[in-house]
Amino acid sequence: MEINKLVRKNILNLKPYSSARSEFKGEGSVFLDANESPFDNDYNRYPDPLQYAVKERISAIKNVDKDSIFLGNGSDEAIDLLFRIFCNPAKDNVVAIAPTYGMYEVCADINDVEYRSVNLDDNFDIDINAILKAADDNTKIIFLCSPNNPTGNLLNRDKILSLIKSFNGIVVVDEAYIDFAPQESFIQQIPRYNNLVVLQTFSKAWGQASVRLGMAYSSIEIISYFNKVKYPYNINILTQRHILEVLNSKDGILDQTKEILKQKEILIKELEGLEIVKKIYPSNANFLLVKTDNANQIYDYLVGKGIIVRNRSKITLCNDCLRITIGQNEENAKLIEELTKFSKK
């Protein structure tokens, strides 16, 4: 696909800001180029604008080309940049599924880009024809999320692939929860499809939500547009150093992921035994979408007991649903204890 044709003209022609650290790369001993303080306190120098060391580690772990990686202030930065690179305000549009992650629509609104949503089917899967029908010549991006938030399920892999092949624009697959899913990531498809963007994050399985670090993986061409538009030093040195340590302790993360999946099975069994639970949707993530007989009442009751879940009952197709994140054993047990008491009221 000719990506250039999808990029906004002003971005195509943009002369990006050139920082001191990007103009000179290499060995030096006296740095008088960036108006920094000369007094060494560990933080007086600007950080690497392209986070080379972090990308090198991620590239090895994920088996992707380091030039196919963008790092942002959470996945949210990558989502916003996609709008700024591809979508002309007040002219272009994007297509997404419903229900799904709320940030795609918020970013569309901020960028004055029309957001078209297509409901998932009865199994919370995508309807390719409906999605393609919602798109027109001004549709630049299709947003998919797999495993999807708040439904929890993986979208059908073959359907995603056929959308990537048939849509004449960018297809984003948000894989924030892929580490919990029994399926291969789409990042291995990046060398095959230059219009594919895969989003991942350190916020969920990696346990680093407060650090704010997300990845976008894509063709080298698309990543070069991300780098052109991003703030010059978007990832600070504290984050870069910290995440290198996290990447080096990934075995611990794998154990935690396994434990969460084990706790999920226990929680499902317990929830199934409660009369107030009408349905537990299949989940490939670290949360459960649960249909109840009265989500608002249950939500308020739990808040009164200091237990906070997410009330999703006002969301498309999620009538009377609560979204419950899998906690530690004792936390899940406390939830079940209170839900049991509520059932008996």
Ligand X SMILES: *Cc1c(COP(=O)(O)O)cnc(C)c1O
- Say whether 41 sits in a helix, a strand or coil: coil
**Among 120-128, 197-205, 275-283, 329-337, which window interacts with ligand X (CB under 6 A)?**
197-205
* Closest to ligand X by CB, 85 or 339: 85
User: Is residue 203 a contact residue for ligand X (CB under 6 A)?
Assistant: yes
Q: Where are the beta strands (DSSP E) in 205-337?
A: 214-218, 277-280, 287-292, 310-311, 321-325
Q: Which residue from 127, 193, 135, 204 is spatially nearest to 159, judged by alpha carbons?
A: 127
Of residues 74 and 99, the one with the C-beta less far from ligand X: 74
- If the CB atoms of residues 207 and 282 are measured against ligand X, the closer one turns out to be 207
- Interface stretch with ligand X, choices 38-46, 71-79, 228-236, 291-299 (CB under 6 A): 71-79
* Residue with smaller CB distance to ligand X, 87 or 213: 213
Find the Cα–Cα–Cα–Cα dihedral 156, 159, 164, 166, rounded to 10°.
-170
Cα–Cα distance for residue pair 246/82, rounded to 1 Å: 27
Measured from the CB of residue 204, what is the shortest distance to ligand X in angstroms? 6
Using CB under 6 A, pick the residue from 7, 76, 141, 219 that binds ligand X.
Answer: 76
Number of residues that bind ligand X (CB under 6 A): 13
Among 47, 49, 74, 152, binds ligand X (CB under 6 A): 74
Residue with nearest beta carbon to ligand X: 74
CA–CA distance, 292 with 278 (Å, rounded to integer) = 5
Binding mask 117-156 for ligand X (x = CB under 6 A): ----------------------------x---x-------
Cis check for the bond before 49: say yes or no (omega within 30 of 0): no
Of 12-20, 203-211, 268-276, 313-321: span binding ligand X (CB under 6 A): 203-211
99 binds ligand X per the rule CB under 6 A: no
214: contact with ligand X by CB under 6 A: yes
Name 142's bridge partners: 95, 171
Measured in whole angstroms, how far is the alpha carbon of residue 309 from the centre of its chain? 20
* Closest C-alpha among 291, 269, 323, 274 to residue 102: 323
E strand or H helix at 142? strand 139-145
Strands annotated E in 191-327: 196-201, 214-218, 277-280, 287-292, 310-311, 321-325
Select 49 or 74, whichever has its Cβ closest to ligand X: 74
Proportion of the chain in helix, strand, coil states, percent, rounded to 5: 40, 15, 40
| Binding residue for ligand X, selected from 174, 186, 218, 295, defined by CB under 6 A | 174
| 101 binding ligand X? (CB under 6 A) | yes
70 lies in the site for ligand X, by CB under 6 A: no
CB-nearer residue toward ligand X: 49 or 99: 99
Q: Are 140 and 92 in contact (CB under 8 A)?
A: yes
Closer residue to ligand X in complex, CB, 149/239: 149
Residue 50, CB-side half-sphere exposure with 13 Å CA sphere: 20
Nearer to ligand X, 209 or 254 (CB): 209
Select 35 or 210, whichever has its Cβ closest to ligand X: 210
List all residues 6 or more positions away from 202 whose beta carbon is below 8 Å from its beta carbon. Answer: 208, 209, 211, 213, 214, 215, 243, 246
Pull the structure tokens for residue 191.
């060398």
Minimum Å distance from CB 243 to ligand X? 12
* Contacts with ligand X, residue ranges (CB under 6 A): 74-76, 101, 145, 149, 174, 176, 201, 203-204, 209, 214
